Structures are given as structure tokens and as C-alpha cells.
Amino acid sequence: MPRKPAASAYHHGDLRRSLLAVAFDILKTKGPEALSLREVARAASVSHQAPYHHFPSRQHLLAALATEGFDDLASRLDEAQRQTQNLETIGQATGVAYVLFAAQNPERFRLMFGGEIGSRAPYPELVDASQRVFALLRRPFGTPPGSRPGRDDDGQVDQHPPASVVANVTAGQNPVVLTLWSTVHGLASLVVDGQVVLSGDALERAALATTQMVWLGVKQTLASAPTSVPTQQSRRPPS
């Protein structure tokens, strides 16, 4: 009787999903430099050519892993924001969820925001996923929790993705959003890189305190800002 082939450690009913699971394991344990299509094929017990049916290149594989990361981060931000309807606490919950995601997924976080992938333009799914995250970062400042992340009030796709993904942040974008994002991303990066050693409740308290300080500064700035600035056209000429 012929011997049955050994069962693979991974279920291949959905080969793409299985390959991504293998790739994520390699990313977590060995880092992105160890990721190659050949190594993923070997670990998944498939032919060396099999991954190419789903990922034309290593960069496509990395982009898919980053897309999953942005999808996960978007889900966490959305869940955190829906726990409260208060504008200030929504902003604080957003910051805490962002930092905790980074601390729990350091290699994925580095891949999402680092330069390993290169230009994001060839990967529309990655661009779209990153847009959803930025839409959620903007949500406490005017986008109601019931609206669809990644789309404006007219249902059009949001054209303001994170600067590190598609374009530079311009002065025309909301400086309050940029302040919050810069602060929580900075803390997240310090934690991921081991420059700030915090975990568990201590990390959550630090993230909350950081976002609270940002909100205090934002409120003071808005309270002291003039309600309107006369334009050159609106000024009356001297008589």
C-alpha cells in the first residue's frame, strides 16, 4: 500500500491566507530581513513557485502583511472610539489603542510605517487600509462614529491618507489631528524600539496621560485662538 504524504502544518484550503500566516510567524520571530517567498514556501510545505500565484514579489508579500496590520489597527481604533460619545475621551481612547497596538505588534508596526516596502502606490489595498486608519484618527475632530471610515460625508473615498504612506502632510490638513498623531506615534515608536520600557497597565497609563496632555494643549490653543481673522479684502481702506 502506498504511503500517504505527510500532513502539512498549515491548512491550504486558502493558500493565500496560509502563506500570510506563515509569513507573519517569520516576521515576528526573525524580522523582515528573513522574509522571502522561498522561505515562506519552505515553512508552509509548498512548492517554491506556489507563493508567486498570490504574491508576484517579496514586496507584494510585505505589502499584504502591512495591509493586515492597518486593518487590525483600524478595527481596534473603531472599537475603542465606540466605547464613549464624549469628544475628549474618544480622542484619548484613540491614542491609547494606537500605542497598545504598536506595543503588542512591534514587527508589524515597523513594517507598516517603515521604509521596507518602499513606495505604497503599487499596492492600492495597502493605501486604502492606511486611509481608513487616518480617517479614524480624524474622527474625534468632526467625523461622527456612525460614519464609514475612509469616506467623507458625500460617500467619496477620503483623500487624506497618512503622510508616511502616500503623501506629505500639508499645512492645509488639520493641525490638531497632526498633533495627536505625532504624539501617540512618537510614544508608540519609542516603546517599539525599546527606548521607553513600559508594559501592561503602566503602558496604558502612560499612553492615557500623554493623550490627556495633548488634549489640554489643544483646548488651551483653541480657547485662545481668534474666532476670525480679517482678510485683506475685508479691511476698509483708510479714509
pLDDT of residue 172: 42
**Is 98 in the same domain as 75?**
yes
**Is 109 in the same domain as 217?**
yes
Q: Considering only the C-alpha atoms of the chain, give the largest distance between any 2 of them, rounded to a whole number of Å.
A: 108
Q: Record the pTM.
A: 0.76
Residue 151, SS3 per DSSP: strand
Query: Is 131 domain-assigned?
Result: yes
Domain count, the chain: 2
State what percent of residues in the chain have pLDDT above 70. Answer: 74
Query: Is 156 domain-assigned?
Result: yes
**Is 116 in the same domain as 161?**
yes
pLDDT of residue 7: 41
CATH number at residue 39: 1.10.10.60
Q: 173 and 189 in contact (C-beta within 8 Å)?
A: no
* Distance, CA of 62 to CA of 112 (rounded, Å): 9
**Is 24 in the same domain as 68?**
no
Phi and psi at residue 175, to the nearest 5°: -70, -25
CATH number at residue 146: 1.10.357.10
Domain around 201: 58-223
**Is 45 in the same domain as 141?**
no
Q: For residue 170, is pLDDT > 80?
A: no
**Is 48 in the same domain as 138?**
no
Query: Is 185 domain-assigned?
Result: yes
**Is 69 in the same domain as 173?**
yes
**Is 29 in the same domain as 110?**
no
- Residues 190-213 have a mean pLDDT of 95
Q: Hunting for cell 498570490 — which residue is that?
A: 54
Residues 20-75 have pLDDT tens digits of 999 999 999 999 999 999 999 999 999 999 999 999 999 999 999 999 999 999 99
**Is 167 in the same domain as 86?**
yes
Residues 71-114 have pLDDT tens digits of 999 999 999 999 988 888 998 999 999 999 999 999 999 999 99
- Please identify, among 21, 37, 56, the residue that sits at the C-terminal boundary of a domain: 56
Query: Is 2 domain-assigned?
Result: no
Q: Which pLDDT band, with edges at 50, 70 and 90, does 145 fall under?
A: very low
Q: Which residues pair with 157 in a beta bridge?
A: 151
pLDDT of residue 180: 86
Query: Is 5 domain-assigned?
Result: no
pLDDT of residue 150: 42
**Is 18 in the same domain as 132?**
no
C-alpha cell of 169? 502632510
Query: Is 228 domain-assigned?
Result: no
